[in-house]
Amino acid sequence: MPCAGLRLDPPNQKHMSASEGSLRPVTFTTEITVVTGDRYGVEGDVKDVERIILDAARGSIMQFAWLVDAETGKHVGVNPDHVAALRAVGS
């Protein structure tokens, strides 16, 4: 099932210059805090993650915001109505 926002590659990954060493992708990470206090680290810049959550909130009833877990690389569906906070945690 294709979902918007699953691997946020081009705008969210940057490469080191040749003078900094080998080219390695750097992935931004965003921490999502839900109303229960649980926190989830997902791949993507905080602005892109926010957009995905807002798009899901404006979509169908009970549409999840589909993102990629920063640790496992697995897909995670977040109920946009339960998101309390977003925070950029790494790049």
Q: pLDDT tens across 29-83, in order?
A: 999 999 999 999 999 999 999 999 999 999 988 899 999 999 999 999 999 999 9
Residue 48 CA: distances (Å) to CA of 18, 20, 28, 61: 27, 27, 10, 21
Range of the domain at 45: 10-90
Structural domains counted in the chain? 1
Distance CA 56, CA 79 (A): 8
Other Cβ atoms closer than 10 A to 27: 17
5 found inside a domain: no
85 found inside a domain: yes
Q: Which residue reads 């915001």 in tokens?
A: 65
Q: pLDDT tens across 6-26, in order?
A: 343 333 344 344 444 555 466
Residue 15 CA: distances (Å) to CA of 23, 42, 50, 78, 90: 6, 19, 23, 29, 15
